[in-house]
Structure 1
Amino acid sequence: MNCIVILCDTLRWDHCSPYHKGHPLSDLSGEQAPWVVPTPNIERLADRGTVFDNAWCGSSPCMPARRDIYTGRYEFLERGWGPLEDDDLDLPRQISGPKPASLTRLLTDGYSVSHLITDHFHLWEQGAGNYHMGYAGYEFIRGHEGDAWKTDPITFPCPDDPMSKVERHHRNVFLTRKKEEDYFCAQVFTRASEWLQANHGYKDFYLHIDCFDPHEPWDPPEEYVKMFDPRGYQVERWHSKPPYDFWRRHMTEDELRHFQARYAASVVFTDKWLGTFLDTMDALHLWEDTVVIFTSDHGTFNGDHGRIGKTQTHQFGALSHIPFILVHPDYRVGERRDQLVQLVDIYPTVLSVLGRPCPPGRHGVDLLPILQNRTAKAHTYAISGQFGKSVSITDGDWILHQSPGPENQPLYWHGHQTARFDPLGYTLGAYQDGRRPVVNYPSWAEPTWLSNREEDPNELYNQANQYHGQVDRLTEALRDLFIELGAPQEQFQRLNL
């Protein structure tokens, strides 16, 4: 059986047709605009497969989420944004062998061909850039966000602060983008289609598609923006990257709506080019022997809790609740599941599909039994978090966001590698005994927070002081889960467990 994983970065679950079911966004969240976001190609996947309604990310943001996928372990318990390490037993090497080999030797030794296609610059950026190395082949589409690619000394239109790293993105795209096919998601899914056409004859291949869209910069073709804001880009001012802050500190309500319009347009545009890839699968009849997993690394605030952008606060549902669709040729067409699933489950599931053994010590579970049996067990609790910040736990109904003590200590970064590219503000001490102390790294200002998804799906009200029994129950569950996962001892102290 072949396996394809499709990861679209920063894709909110409520912008996907299988989840909003044709309802306006404002029906799902009063902080969203009253428009419907059509994603017919994500819906094509749902019609062929199984939709998981209770999927949660795990480690956050971008690269920590990928490490969950590549290792089958929650990264945020031990370290933050960083590269893979030698003992991580990363997924590509489990599929294509522990060291680079010729294709002939790889296949002779009983391994499978694996291939990565991505425009996700962080996979290659200093401090995280070794996620491609275990694949039998890989393709990197240049130019996104801060990619130091083009240096041509020209004048070009850039709506952002020229000191922002997004300035590089606009320079790159101004020099290379001439038509819709030149946009990044179009290139990603076009190249993936071409790879399928050339390589679909391999038995038990693994294709990993990591599409940066709809992550910001939010600058899709204007015709897609006009689906949600008739003005298109003809507004007084616009920025392609949200400020990751309370939106009222930076923009008017009209400007927020324009941000929301460009995000929705980016989702629709990404979905269109996903469709070209699905067309290729149709033409090659690959649905007959291929499993497809479609998901995202996390969502984003887009007016929720008065915020825009990622991180900033607890892993509320706008960030941690993600789309997750699994298509299998033999099981459950057009069905839904409510088991708790997470990104760490991709690792054992892919290995199960390919008939490869799963190493011990993984935190994920194989999802194939759940396709066969709607009552099969997955996770009793899902957890998510960002290294050194609060930790969230949910049973699917109640969600507890457990804040650390005011000192946020003790805290250690476990592992040899550090994040040379440091987007989140760590200060690391000297390496000793397999770890580095983390200092001067405050947690979020928000206190421990309890929400009930049925009563308050947007988690706007903290019910921790009202339901002490639920706080105690979930705190105990988090403590027990940490023990089961082998979490570092300081996490129990830091989080008052």
Structure 2
Amino acid sequence: MNIIVIMSDTFRVDNLTCYSRESMVKTPNLDKLSSQSFVFDRCYCASFPTVPNRFDIFTGTHSFVKQDWSPLPFNEIVLSQILTEGGYNTALIADTPHIIQHGFNYERGFTTYLWNRGQENDRLYSFPDAVELPCSVKKLRDPANNLIPHMRNIYYNRYEEDCFAPRTMSDACRWLEKNHDKGEFFLWIDTFDPHEPWDPPEYYIDMYDPYYLGERVIYPQYHPVTFFTEEEISHCRSMYNGEVTMVDRWIGRVLEQVEYLGIQGETTIIFTSDHGFLFGEHGFIGKTFIADDYFECLRLYEEIVHVPLMIRLPGQKEQKRIPGLVSSTDLMPTILEMLNLTDTAERGGMTQAQTLQCGFTQPQSWSLDVGSLHGKSFCSLLNGKEKKIHEYVISSFPLMHGTPRIDKSVITTEEWSLHVAGKAADPESELLPPPGLTYRNNPGDYQPGTTKAALFHTPEDPGQTCDVISDNLSLARDLHGEYVKSLEAWDLDKKRLDLNKKLNL
């Protein structure tokens, strides 16, 4: 069996009609895929955001108890090296810069990889010297390091095919054409779109907001919504929606290629994302709060951590729903079981490591204790032998900072969502939210500096606007106790663990 994984960064779950019947986003190809797939109703990212999430999936363990946004350590055994050892032709085709640039090394273990350079802050070109920004510089998040490099990189783009998602999906189609008949393969396609900057061709944006005449805030400050006009926030969502539709169109090319090559009967297709994005929900635009040197992780609301997951098995024609909780960390053990490679992982193999100088490598042995993985295979959900594999799942920013501004987690059950923050390692050095900004204070809006726990009853309050922790203290303490037990089982450093043992009420 072959496997194709399509990872689309910052793809909100409610873009898709299979998750939200009210969705107005045009995604005909993913809609068709969902009609032929297992649709996981309650999939959550584990570690947040982009790089920690890839760590989770590639290693089957939670990055948030191991490391921050960091390179992939050489001693971590990754999915690609196990599949390569098992005889699979493995390939990574990506335009997401953060998993490869600066030696982050997430291409390790693949037989081959192709990086479409130029997304976001990738310093590909140094010209032209001056670029015209689409809006006032004060509305943009760190334009010198994010948007200006991006605009230099796309300066000579003329056609839709020049955009990053189209290039990446086209490269995937070409790879499939040359490799589909050369034995079993594993293809990971990783596009950074629809992550900002939102710059699809104009006709995609016109599908959603054709009469807008204001500034184009294509890479907004991660700020309270009061920093922008309502029209700007609405147009941000329209530009994002346009990029989602473009991504969908080119994912359709990959799905079409699988059909044309006649391999749909032997190929599993997996579509997922790493996290979502706020467009005014809870009083913010973005997924964190960033202001100059100030950084704060917001509560990890449903709009951020609930992610799409669809799996179409070979020859599958009908949709099946999976209501049980799953986590992104479950993907690695699931794929190993699907391909009957669990024994291969336990047996291990040899990896060639470059040492001493370029061109000189030495073999290093490896093996994986599958029982040490934090994720669980959900094959039993696919084959109907079980209804659920988790009582709860945990989503978290890396717990490495010693400040409640950043070390935030959410424990999600079938009914409840408990949001918690750790203690400060040095309370006297804690930063206060920056002055001079106005924060909206509607029900459910996040207030910067918030460190107290909050509890939401998801069936009655899917938007998480009504904190009911005061009426359910016993339940909150029980859930927090399970959270602490999990951190202990996953070997969180003792100093970090101690900062997260107390439920802040």
Q: Once the 2 structures are TM-superposed, how far is the Cα of residue 496 of structure 1 from its aligned partner?
A: 2.5
Residue 155 of structure 2: SS of its match in structure 1?
helix
- Map residues 284-433 of structure 1 onto 2, 5 A cutoff: 284-311=261-288, 312-329=297-314, 333-357=318-342, 358=345, 359-360=368-369, 361-373=372-384, 375-388=386-399, 389-407=407-425
Residue 451 of structure 1: SS of its match in structure 2?
strand
CA RMSD of aligned residues (A): 1.9
CA distance in 2 between partners of 1:407 and 1:155 (Å): 44
- Map residues 78-89 of structure 1 onto 2, 5 A cutoff: 78-89=66-77
- Is the aligned partner of 1:92 residue 2:97? no
Q: 1:52 to 1:444 in 2, by over 3 A?
A: farther
- Map residues 86-125 of structure 1 onto 2, 5 A cutoff: 86-97=74-85, 110-125=86-101
Residue 48 of structure 1: SS of its match in structure 2?
coil
Residue 59 of structure 1: SS of its match in structure 2?
coil
* Equivalent residue number for residue 181 of structure 1: 161
Which of the residues 259, 267, 289 maps onto 2:236? Answer: 259
Q: 1:260 to 1:135 in 2, by over 3 A?
A: same
- The count of corresponding residues between Structure 1 and Structure 2 is 435
* Equivalent residue number for residue 8 of structure 1: 8
Q: Once the 2 structures are TM-superposed, how far is the Cα of residue 307 of structure 1 from its aligned partner?
A: 0.6
CA distance in 2 between partners of 1:114 and 1:183 (Å): 25
* Equivalent residue number for residue 415 of structure 1: none
CA distance in 2 between partners of 1:226 and 1:280 (Å): 28
Provide structure 1 residue ranges, at least 5 long, that are not aligned to the other structure.
25-35, 98-109, 410-442
TM-score when normalising by structure 2 = 0.82
**Residue 245 of structure 1 contacts residue 308 of structure 1 at CA under 8 Å; is this kept in 2?**
yes
Residue 447 of structure 1: SS of its match in structure 2?
coil
Residue 307 of structure 2: SS of its match in structure 1?
coil
Ranges of 4+ aligned residues in structure 1 off by more than 6 Å: none
CA distance in 2 between partners of 1:217 and 1:464 (Å): 37
**Residue 11 of structure 2 contacts residue 244 of structure 2 at CA under 8 Å; is this kept in 1?**
yes
- Is the aligned partner of 1:464 residue 2:482? no
* 1:157-208 CA-partner distances (Å, limit 9, x unpaired): 3326353421010111112x11111111111111111111110013221000
Q: 1:401 to 1:408 in 2, by over 3 A?
A: farther
* Equivalent residue number for residue 435 of structure 1: none
**Residue 56 of structure 1 contacts residue 343 of structure 1 at CA under 8 Å; is this kept in 2?**
yes
- Map residues 53-92 of structure 1 onto 2, 5 A cutoff: 53-92=41-80
Residue 51 of structure 1: SS of its match in structure 2?
strand
Q: Once the 2 structures are TM-superposed, how far is the Cα of residue 239 of structure 1 from its aligned partner?
A: 1.9
CA distance in 1 between partners of 2:385 and 2:235 (Å): 41
* Equivalent residue number for residue 245 of structure 1: 223
* Equivalent residue number for residue 197 of structure 1: 177
Residue 87 of structure 1: SS of its match in structure 2?
coil
Q: 1:447 to 1:157 in 2, by over 3 A?
A: same
**Residue 398 of structure 1 contacts residue 451 of structure 1 at CA under 8 Å; is this kept in 2?**
yes
Q: Once the 2 structures are TM-superposed, how far is the Cα of residue 154 of structure 1 from its aligned partner?
A: 5.3
% identical equivalent positions: 31
- Is the aligned partner of 1:163 residue 2:178? no
CA distance in 2 between partners of 1:489 and 1:287 (Å): 48
Q: Once the 2 structures are TM-superposed, how far is the Cα of residue 156 of structure 1 from its aligned partner?
A: 3.9
Q: 1:374 to 1:182 in 2, by over 3 A?
A: farther
Q: Once the 2 structures are TM-superposed, how far is the Cα of residue 129 of structure 1 from its aligned partner?
A: 2.2
**Residue 333 of structure 2 contacts residue 375 of structure 2 at CA under 8 Å; is this kept in 1?**
yes
CA distance in 1 between partners of 2:387 and 2:14 (Å): 26
CA distance in 2 between partners of 1:306 and 1:148 (Å): 33
CA distance in 1 between partners of 2:389 and 2:180 (Å): 32
Q: Once the 2 structures are TM-superposed, how far is the Cα of residue 70 of structure 1 from its aligned partner?
A: 0.9
CA distance in 2 between partners of 1:152 and 1:455 (Å): 53
Provide structure 2 residue ranges, at least 5 long, that are not aligned to the other structure.
138-142, 289-296, 346-367, 400-406, 428-447
Letter in 1 for 2:105: N
Letter in 2 for 1:269: M
CA distance in 1 between partners of 2:388 and 2:203 (Å): 45
